[in-house]
Amino acid sequence: MKRTATFLLLLLLVVSCKKEKTIWESDWSAPIINDTLSLANLTNDSTLVESSGFYQLDLSRTLFDLKVSDFVGIPDTTIQEVFAAPVGFNLSPGFTFDNSTTEHVINLDDIQLKKIILNEGFIDVRVENPLATEIIFEVQLPGVSKNGVVFSNQYSSPAGTAANPGVSNQTIDLSGYTLDLTGISGGQYNILVSTINLIAGQPGTFVSEPDPMRVDATFRGVKINYARGYFGNPVISDTTNVFLEVMNSVQAGAIDIPNTSITFEIENGIKVSAEGTLTTVSNTNLSGNAIDLTGGQMGTSFNVDPATGTWDNLSPSLKLINFNSTNSNIEAYIENLGASHDFGYSLQLNPWGNVSGGYDEVFSTSKLSVRMNANMPLTIGVDGLVLRDTFDIQLNQDPEKTHIKSGELILQASNGFPISGSVKLMLCDEVGNVLHTVAGSSELRSSLYGPYSTKHGFEVEDSEIHYVLSEEVLNDINSVYTIIVESTFNSINPTTNLNEQMAIPFGAFLAVKLKTKFTSENKF
């Protein structure tokens, strides 16, 4: 009997140790986003400005800006000269020979410069002397002066041999100098004149062989502060692309904007006439739909007058080309919602040749620029405007352990924008196939449905949107690699129930709180 009782007790203990896992459910919630979206950060770069309590959109941009160095430049140039001492002469110290004046041509293609003032520039001089005596080079540049003083200096080259000439390297700083490039006659251009005297130094020597002395002079680092002459008639043309990344999220729908205009402003700060053409203004949206800006002034040449005045009172000329709702399709152009914009232009200097008689002028303050000016109220109407963005995500849970069984995401929002919208989530697999679409329980309501806020100075409406994540959705959660967030917006007037243009109040915001409410199944 005692043995039987002991056996039954042991059997009971064994059976009790083999029971199933304990399973129970629990509910929990946690905030994951608490943020406020507004346009305030964009006002810092003057894209958005305030006007009478509402946002004003300023799309003014400089498309290109050319300065002095873009019109006139002197490339690095090397000039070489060869000198020979008189054979059979005794070069005693102080003996002067080969006193010569030479014109040096600066190759500038079609540009004909008569006078320039250098902001910066250097001449690197290398002298090779094969004579057995020091040679002093006395260099004068008759057309080169600074503060009324003509450039003149002496440079020494040590004695050497034909096989191993004495070498001297010197650098002439021409920064701030004025260069007269009209040559000896005064009626030429691109001509630099130099006078070089060769003076024998210590010790004297007898010249028995016609060994040449070589001088290399290299112009480098020339930056022009002022230039006068004929700048040729080059054509300056380009197509500039501007890509607006934010517009790449627009999937469908339309916007309506008030009457607006875009003005292209050509500022000419050089004393040269020009002829220009706007060759291309176009944009392409995400759907591939392209639209060209049209109007009588597209593709039609226009004249740009030269600047007037001098150093201290230079007055640029201005050419304005305006595209508005009357003379162009500017509204359709903007409403295409293009992300990629192309701006093409062509400008030709001196289209009628050298009509100034070689008196084109460009100053340190001169520039040739094209600006796009567009300033309009941020008053827009949107009808079924669809924005889409994609986020990478990867969640893993084991159904045999503690895991989420069901739940929802709860979006609480305070909206100060007069625009309403519906937002849905699309859960996609690794190759982009949509596994599940989760719609919100309601829409994000426009501020026009809400009460007036004395704190903010405009209406604010609160909304709460629920996104239910069913057990079916959660069973596939391990296969989800991306989430597409697709929002559809409308600007509905609560009074008329129609989409209408709405002004955006200055300081408008969207405050959002996103939290979870999950039911988990716990297994132990």
3-state SS record for 471-508: HHHHHCHHHCCEEEEEEEEECECCCCCCECCEECECCC
- Reported as a single tens digit per residue, the pLDDT across 96-105 is 877 788 898 8
Structure tokens that stand for 347 in this block: 């400008």
DSSP helix, strand, coil percent of the chain (3-state; round to 5): 10, 55, 35
Nearest to 177 by CA among 219, 117, 234: 117
Residue 8: per-residue pLDDT: 32
336 vs 388: CA distance, rounded Å: 17
CB-CB contact of 389 with 487 (8 Å) = no
226 vs 120: CA distance, rounded Å: 11
- Reported as a single tens digit per residue, the pLDDT across 251-296 is 444 455 566 778 889 999 999 999 999 999 898 887 788 999 998 7
Residue 433: per-residue pLDDT: 92
DSSP string over 126-187: EEEE-SSS-EEEEEEEEEEEETTEEEEEEEEE----SSS-EEEEEEEE-TT-EEE-BTTTSS
The amino acid present at 11, given as its one-letter code, is L
71 vs 368: CA distance, rounded Å: 9
Cis-peptide into 31, omega within 30 deg: no
Residue range 492-520: average pLDDT? Answer: 77
Centre a 10 Å sphere on the Cβ of residue 121 and count the other Cβ atoms it contains.
21
- Which residues, in sequence order, are bridge partners of residue 483? 391, 427
Q: Give yes or no for residue 471 having a pLDDT over 60.
A: yes
114 vs 227: CA distance, rounded Å: 8
pLDDT-derived band at 247 (thresholds 50, 70, 90) equals: low
Residue 147: per-residue pLDDT: 92
The amino acid present at 151, given as its one-letter code, is F
Which stretch of 18-22, 79-83, 149-153, 188-192 has the lowest confidence by average pLDDT?
Answer: 18-22
CA angle 337, 340, 342 (to 5 degrees): 115
Nearest to 39 by CA among 29, 47, 31: 47
Return the SS3 of 44. Answer: helix
CA angle 494, 496, 500 (to 5 degrees): 85
Helix or strand holding residue 280 (H, E): strand 274-284
pLDDT-derived band at 40 (thresholds 50, 70, 90) equals: low
Q: What count of Cα atoms within 13 Å lies in the side-chain half-sphere of residue 524?
A: 5
Q: Give yes or no for residue 18 having a pLDDT over 70.
A: no
Structure tokens that stand for 52 in this block: 């009478």
Return the SS3 of 260. Answer: coil
The pairing of strands 274-284 and 302-304 is antiparallel
Residue 366: per-residue pLDDT: 87
177 vs 151: CA distance, rounded Å: 9
Return the SS3 of 403. Answer: strand
CB-CB contact of 499 with 491 (8 Å) = yes
CB-CB contact of 106 with 188 (8 Å) = no
- Which residues, in sequence order, are bridge partners of residue 227? 116, 362
The DSSP code for 249 is G
- Which residues, in sequence order, are bridge partners of residue 72? none
Nearest to 111 by CA among 232, 234, 192, 225: 232
Place of tokens 């699309």: 426
Residue 238: per-residue pLDDT: 84
Residue range 389-396: average pLDDT? Answer: 70
- Which has more pLDDT, 29 or 350? 350
